[in-house]
Chain A
Amino acid sequence: MRRWLRTGFVVGAIAMAWFSAPASSAQETPDGREVYLASCAACHQGTGVGVPGSFPPLVDNPNVADAEYIRDVILNGKSGPIDVNGVTYDAEMPAQPQLSDAEIDAVISYIQAGVFIPADTVPVGEGGAAVGEKLFLGRTGLENGGPACHACHSAGTHSDLGGPTLGPDLTDLALRYGGSDAVAAALANPPSATMQPIFADKPLTDQERADLGAYFGSIRTYTDVQVDLLWILGLAGAAILLGVMFVFPKRNRINYLRQLRSRS
């Protein structure tokens, strides 16, 4: 009985540690820079200069002085053309409901401080969609050793077997970002918290960004997956493996001893 109690105690302690984990991690003070890089930099760029024609800059942007304006845009998103310093930008910004109030406060302070990552990005040149598709799949490896997009993302027709689903589908990426150039620019600062540490020391080259941008811009069709082939083929495979077990002669399965006895 004591053994059972002891084991129960250890199991209970581990389970409690697990379930109390998410609650306590939310209490930390968020870092505005991290929030910005995770949720804003994909479009507005780590440098804060935005993308011409698509995403407005946050440096030297008079609207940024109004904290409530920023909060409203973060909470509700923004669509339609917008003028900043005489230049028109026209791409849709989605609401960011995943951010907590504390994170929004932190990122507003970061944006208003105006101290962004120094500009060191080189203008992106012409890209090739066919080359980009090979980079996407990983048929051509990325020069700095980063993982292929297809490890986590599906796009266009590349979604067989349910497609990679760790990251979102990228079929309409260029549409959402406002063109190939915007995608290529955004790839200089990978948009998600999962991608940032992976690509931190394995950045995409300028040519790779251009090629990938061209590929995403060229996607016109995508496959709508109706049947989940992975589950069907996985279950079929397991059934075959179970079937193979029947090949064993029954007497070998059960009791080798009995065979030996019957021979002696």
Chain B
Amino acid sequence: MNWNMLLFVVFPYVAIVVAIVGTVYRLVRRPFTVSSLSSQLLEGRQLFWGSVPFHWGLVLILLAHFLALILPGLFNVWNRSPIRLYALEITGLALALWALFGLGMLIYRRVSVSKIRAVTTPMDLVVLGLVLLQVITGILIATVYRFGSYWGTDVFVPYVQSLFILQPRPELVAPLPFILQFHASLFFVFLVVFPFSRLVHMITLPLRYLTRPFQLVKWVRRDRPAEPEREPVGVGR
């Protein structure tokens, strides 16, 4: 048993089991905790500049990772033309940098706004730290070891597929640079953390929101403290 076996064969399977068992347990036994516990009511302005780039950037990049996993041939055909390869890589890097900006905003907001700090759990900070590490290593890989969208389909995709068919091939990952191994094994850390953190909100899709009527949320107290940019109330409509 060497470290490569431990990190890329044993750990992935342990992580997958923990993620599935933990998530099912939480969904069944603690269904109302399956949420990211929005703090939008506590602070909304910084949240917009943090949450929108963070979520759109990362969701699109995650979808691209997932698509490469299930349809590697599509990426190979696309990348046959250097121009298309470059367009894909530039788009990916732009989304990652945009997401990094949003993530920085979210971290700043979480530590600087006292109301948000009050509702912050240690696990929230762990998640932010892990995402920060993963985004930074992703950007480093995209720029130092170009072009991941092309070689990834022949280095990482066969490795991940080998895990799924229970015939792991850790030798595919062993000779890769440290930062690539780090990025890959950090994904399995995410799986372990998944059921015990706000990350579980990823598997919830608010589809009912599309059809349900608007909700009007009213404060219990009589009025809110005056704010400079507050719009006039009751202008005759």
A in complex with B: yes
Give the B-binding residues of A (Cβ under 8 A): 3-4, 6-8, 11, 14, 18, 21-22, 24-25, 28, 38, 137-139, 141, 146-148, 150-152, 158, 160-166, 192-194, 197-198, 230-231, 233-238, 240-242, 245, 248, 251, 253-255, 257-264
Indicate if the CB atoms of A240 and B48 lie closer than 8 Å: no
B143 and A194 within 8 A (CB): no
Q: How far is the CA of A225 from the CA of B1 in the complex (A)?
A: 43
Question: A164-B150, A194-B175, A241-B98 known; A230 and B143 CB under 8 Å?
Answer: yes
Within 8 Å CB of B187, what residues of A? none
Question: Residue on B with the closest CB to A147?
Answer: B154
Closest B residue to A238 by CB, please name it: B97
Using A7-B122, A192-B175, A251-B231 as known contacts, list a sample of 4 further A-B pairs with CB atoms less than 8 Å apart, ordered by residue number in A: A165-B144, A194-B176, A234-B93, A245-B49
**What is the bound-complex CA distance between A141 and B154, given in angstroms?**
13
Report the 9 A-B pairs with minimum CB-CB distance, sorted nearest first: A237-B94, A234-B93, A193-B175, A238-B97, A147-B154, A7-B122, A151-B150, A151-B151, A238-B98
- In the bound assembly, the distance between CA atoms of A263 and B216 in angstroms comes to 12
Q: Interface stretch among B17-25, B166-174, B198-206?
A: B166-174
User: Which residues of the other chain, B, contact A238 by a CB distance below 8 angstroms?
Assistant: 93-95, 97-98, 101
Among A4, A21, A240, A257, the residue within 8 A (CB) of B122 is A4
Do residues A237 and B91 form an inter-chain contact, with CB atoms below 8 A? yes
- Identity of the chain A residue whose Cβ is nearest the Cβ of B147 in the assembled complex: A164
Residues from chain A with Cβ under 8 Å of B154 in the complex: 146-147, 151, 198
A197 x B90 contact (CB < 8 A):
no
Q: Who on chain B is nearest to A11 by CB?
A: B126
Chain A-chain B contacts (Cβ-Cβ < 8 Å), number: 158
Check if B211 is an interface residue, CB within 8 A of chain A: no
Asked if B82 is at the interface (CB within 8 A of a chain A CB), the reply is yes
Q: How large is the interface on B (under 10, 10 to 19, 20 to 34, 35 or more residues)?
A: 35 or more
Contact call A245/B90, Cβ cutoff below 8 A: no
Residues on the B chain within 8 Å of A163, using CB: 146
> Which residues of the partner chain A approach B216 to less than 8 Å between Cβ atoms?
257, 260, 264
Q: Are A245 and B53 in contact (CB under 8 A)?
A: yes
Contact with A along B126-147 (1 / 0, CB 8 A): 1001000000000000111111
Across the interface, which residues of A come within 8 angstroms of B158, CB to CB? Answer: 198
Residues in A whose Cβ lies below 8 Å from that of B172? 197-198
Chain B residues near A160 (CB-CB < 8 A):
82, 86
A165 and B146 contacting across the interface, CB-CB below 8 Å: yes
Report the minimal beta-carbon distance from B147 to chain A, rounded to whole angstroms.
Answer: 5
Complex interface: chain B residues within 8 A of A236 (CB)? 94
B38 contacts A by Cβ under 8 Å = no
Closest B residue to A199 using CB positions? B154
Max chain A C-beta neighbours (<10 A), residue from B154, B231, B233: B154
Q: Interface stretch among B2-10, B27-35, B108-116?
A: B2-10
Check B94 against A241 for contact (C-beta < 8 Å). Answer: yes
Docked Cα-Cα span, A139 to B84, in Å, equals 12
Residues of A within 8 A of B90 (CB): 161, 230, 233-234, 237
Residues of B contacting A28 in the complex (Cβ-Cβ under 8 angstroms): 2
Docked complex Cα distance between A18 and B185 (Å): 10
Interface centre among A163, A234, A263 (most CB of B within 10 A): A234
Chain A residue numbers with a CB within 8 Å of B150 are 138, 147-148, 150-152, 164
A25 and B80 form a contact (CB under 8 A): no
What per-residue 1/0 map shows which CB atoms of B70-99 lie under 8 Å from chain A? 000000100111100110011101111110
